[in-house]
Amino acid sequence: MKYWKKNNLFVIVLSLIVFFGLAVALAEAVGRVRVEAGNRATGILVEYGELQEGVNRHSLGHFDTAGALQAFQKSGITGVLLKEQTLGDLAGQGQLRIFSGAGLLAASRRGDADLFLPAGPFNPARFYVEIPDAALWERVVFHLESKVPGMVVHVAPGEQAGKDMPADQNQLLLPLETTRGSLPIAPAGVLSLPTEEERLDEIGVGFPVAAIEMLSDQGLDIYLQIYGWPGDEESLPAVFRAIGDLPGVRGILFNSPDLPGFPVYRAVTASEMDRLGIPVVTIDLFERQRAPLLSLVRSQETKEVIRLHAIPQEERDLLTPARALSRYLLAVTERNNRLLLIRYGGQGLYGAPWLEKNTDFVVDLRGELAAAGHAVGTVIPYAGGDFPFSRAKIFLISAAILAGGVLLLIRLKMARAGFMLGAAGLLLVGFLLASGGKFLGFDSLDLARKGMALASGTIFPLLGLAVYRDCFGKRSLPKALGSLVGLSLFSLAGALLAAGLMTGLTYMVKLDQLPGIKLALFLPLLLAGMLLLFGDERSLRGLIGKLRELWDRPLITGSALLIVLLLVAAAVLLVRSGNESLFVSEAELHARFLLDRLLVVRPRTKEFLIGHPLMLVAFYWGLRSRAGIWVALLGMIGQVSLINTFYHLHTPLLISLQRAAGGLILGAALGVVLILGLKIIFGIVIGREGSPPRRG
């Protein structure tokens, strides 16, 4: 404490820098909350092809696709997703036929082929496509000419073939159904492609224009999911112009990580998306698509993004309606998704019961969303202009984080090292912000923001632990509770500074995120352990001596069990961190579901069930024993988890604040119960040991 008072002037100045940076971060937080509060409209979609398939499988002739769509619209859907058709899709619907060249040649030699192919070169290594409908022919040829080099048109539907048609093994001459004068008339158009069979289901050939016009006339929003292709400076504008001619399109999704024109013609694709003025739609949990979409959005001038959540049909089949509703609701309220693609239940139902079950689900979903403050309607995309940010703000918040680091080292009686490291850090941040471009292969602006955000999550919980280290073992519940709240406020300050740094469109829609989350979880625990075990030692020689003393101590059973418990807790913390946690049992999923239904926002298990209760126990009983130190270290899991909550930048900020507050309140309550229970147990044990033996 004397060392702290000796540097009192520096402490005051550094504290003011921290508070000023916090004010800047809080201003960013207020702006973010306003944007999130103003963007609550949510769309409910069905996928057109899946609806057709469901009707064909379950209707039993009682209704058609149009009737089912009207029923869904009355129940609350706002739009329809159409996936770009492929040659394989159209062949499955009977709108065209696909033949392998080798198969055609073999059939021709047997005399049982049924494809009209006029004179011209025949290649058995190609695939041949027969399309009778003229309108479909025009659309397919347009897309294949744009996307498949080497595509050959042999004859268009109804076209007169040429006069010279010698029949030999290099060309097929099949029976004709009609003639016009003396020349044969093609009953269907025929083209051929130099591609592999599996690629037939990956080449997009556009959308059914009549269906889209019908859906748009019904007042439904249209969302299109398109396939990628290498593209060039001519084909990309042509295809995107065709998309722009379609009515009612509110967003564009992509089928795979291979986006149109990427990577060579990325700028052309971005320019065409800007010209269309149609938002990019990202698919929640489609991680492989995140990097290319981030590159696309960053390349755009008009940055507009919507997030979509869908439950895969195989998962939907296993969920009860209540569980499915809960998942959709959480996707909206806690993950900033604004589009929900529904999948169908009632796989064992047919006719009207199947339709009623699924339309009732949409009615219930609309009601749940309305109760949570999310009206169903046309979605407003998040835009880059919603989150203005400047290098000056990054610098000020970074200075606050570095000032916190210097305060930590002053508290640990390492002021000189603190000032040197703080100054070096500030110079590095300034250099990164001023230089722009790349630094060590990374975007310099990103490097500054992400590096300082991760530093904030390490510095401030340790600063809080250093400040409250003398408050352990007061044997007073009010003081222990006050210390837990104070420590959590330090962690919250670090979390808000990190969140202020990372405010931006790409973070809000989870196209970008903080790297090194596992390290950010483990490093503060490691440093906290060193602070708790060796906090009074300042010299390297003394630190080595304490480590040697600790190593030479005999390991008793209780300490061994606590160490194992700590290692298991650390492993669980690392493995279970993030949104796609592994090893979640069905029982835990059920418990989470119940907590979601009972509480406004479900707190994180690591905080209310492990970290905060154990930290309260440590503040109450102190660090005089090795067991107390290990309990305090386990308690730091709650502080690390609290900060990690705010690293989930796609979660609305108010939800993160509610989750942190709920975890602290519930964890403190459980800690009080734990302390009182332990006191009762200890009292019983001590009473038995101290009672005189009975006389016989």
**Domain containing 50: what range?**
41-84+207-379
- Where residue 329 sits, what CATH number does that domain have? 3.20.20
pLDDT of residue 171: 41
pLDDT at 175: 41
Same domain, residue pair 340 and 221: yes
If you average pLDDT over residues 519-526, what whole number do you get? 87
Q: Which two tokens stand for residue 335?
A: 């993950």
Q: Range with the lowest mean pLDDT among 206-215, 283-292, 441-450? A: 441-450
Per-residue exposure over 568-597, b if at least 16 CB sit within 10 Å of its own CB, e if not: ebbebbeeebeeeeeeeeeeeeeeebebbe
Q: With the C-alpha atoms ordered 34, 36, 42, 47, is the resulting torsion angle positive or negative? A: positive
- Specify whether 359 is located in the same domain as 410: no
Asked if pLDDT for residue 254 goes beyond 70, the answer is yes
Asked if the structure places residue 694 within a domain, the reply is: no
> Structurally, how many domains does the chain consist of?
3
Residue 692 is assigned to a structural domain of this protein: no
**Nearest Cα residue to 329 out of 358, 361, 286, 306:** 361
Residue partners of 119: CB distance under 8 A and separation at least 6:
161, 162, 164, 165, 166, 171, 173
Q: Among 4-18, 164-178, 418-432, which is the least confidently predicted range?
A: 164-178
d(CA 215, CA 696): 94
Residue 521 and residue 396 share a domain: yes
Q: What is the pLDDT of residue 163?
A: 42
Structural domain includes residue 538: yes
Residue 423 has pLDDT above 90, yes or no: yes
CA–CA dist 64, 53 (Å, integer): 11
Closest to 465 (Cα-Cα) out of 542, 532, 521, 383:
532
Say how far apart CA 120 and CA 128 lie, in whole Å: 13
Cα distance between residue 57 and residue 77, in whole Å:
21
Q: Both 79 and 125 in a single domain?
A: no
Q: Closest Cα partner for 333 from 599, 664, 606?
A: 599
- Cis, bond preceding 263 (omega within 30 deg of 0): yes
Question: Which has the minimum average pLDDT: 214-228, 468-482, 537-551, 677-691?
Answer: 537-551
> Do 273 and 417 lie in a common domain?
no
DSSP state of 160: B
pLDDT of residue 188: 82
Distance CA 618, CA 613 (A): 9
581 within 8 A of 644, measured Cβ to Cβ: no
Specify whether 65 is located in the same domain as 128: no
> What is residue 110's predicted lDDT score, i.e. its pLDDT?
73
**In a shared domain, residues 635 and 521:** yes
Residues 464, 612 within the same domain: yes
The residue ranking higher by pLDDT, 33 or 188, is 33
Whether residue 170 is predicted with pLDDT greater than 80 in this model: the reply is no
Establish if 190 belongs to a structural domain.
Answer: yes
Mean pLDDT of 60-65: 94
Say if 695 falls within a structural domain: no
Residue carrying structure tokens 């403050």: 373
Q: Place 690 in a pLDDT band, splitting at 50, 70 and 90.
A: low
532 within some domain:
yes
624 class by beta-carbon count within 10 Å (0-12 exposed, 13-18 middle, 19+ buried): exposed
Predicted local confidence at residue 695, as pLDDT: 47
- DSSP designation for 318: T
Span 295-303, mean pLDDT? 94
Q: Does 238 map to a domain?
A: yes
How many percent of the chain have pLDDT more than 90?
A: 66
Q: Is the pLDDT of residue 625 over 60?
A: yes
The pLDDT value recorded for residue 101 is 86
End residue of a domain, out of 158, 175, 201: 201
Same domain, 80 and 93: no
Helices H / strands E in the chain, number of each = 27, 16
User: What is the secondary structure of 586-643 as a DSSP string?
Assistant: HHHHHHHHHHHHHSSSPPPHIIIIIIHHHHHHHHHH-SSSHHHHHHHHHHHHHHHHHH
Domain edge (last residue) among 361, 379, 397: 379
Lowest mean pLDDT among 131-135, 184-188, 210-214, 311-315: 184-188
Checking if the pLDDT of 464 tops 70, the result is yes
- The per-residue pLDDT for range 559-602, each reduced to its tens digit, is 566 566 666 666 665 555 554 444 555 665 566 667 666 777 88
Q: Within this chain, do residues 15 and 157 fall inside the same structural domain, yes or no?
A: no
**342-359 residue pLDDT tens:** 999 998 999 999 999 999
Q: Among 343, 358, 379, give the residue marking a domain's end.
A: 379
- Whether pLDDT at 177 is above 50: no
**pLDDT at 541 exceeding the cut of 90:** no
- 276-293 tens-digit pLDDT: 999 999 999 999 999 999
Between CA 423 and CA 399 the distance in angstroms is 9
Q: Which long-range contacts (CB under 8 A, 24 or more apart) does 426-431 make?
A: 426/398, 426/399, 426/402, 429/394, 429/395, 429/398, 429/399, 429/402, 430/395
Q: How far is Cα 329 from Cα 367, in angstroms, rounded to an integer?
A: 10
607 residue type, one letter: E
Q: Is 352 left (phi over 0), alpha (psi -120 to 50) or beta?
A: alpha
Q: pTM for the whole thing?
A: 0.88
In angstroms, the Cα distances linking 2 to 92, 224, 352, 410, 537 are: 82, 67, 80, 11, 16
Cβ(415)–Cβ(7) below 8 Å: yes
Do 516 and 582 sit in the same domain of this protein?
yes
User: What confidence category does residue 64 fall into, taking pLDDT thresholds of 50, 70 and 90?
Assistant: very high
Are residue 158 and residue 248 in the same domain, yes or no? no
Determine how β-strand 442-443 pairs with β-strand 438-439. antiparallel
Q: Indicate the pLDDT class of residue 213, thresholds 50, 70 and 90.
A: very high
Query: Where residue 166 falls among pLDDT bands split at 50, 70, 90?
Result: very low
Q: Decide if pLDDT at 542 tops 60.
A: no
pLDDT confidence of residue 295 = 95
Burial 173-193 (b: 16+ CB within 10 A, else e): bbeeeeeeeeebbbbbbbbbb
Interval 88-139: pLDDT, tens? 999 999 999 998 888 887 777 776 666 666 555 778 889 999 999 999 999 9
Mean pLDDT of 178-183: 40
List the beta bridge partners of residue 252: 224, 280
520 found inside a domain = yes
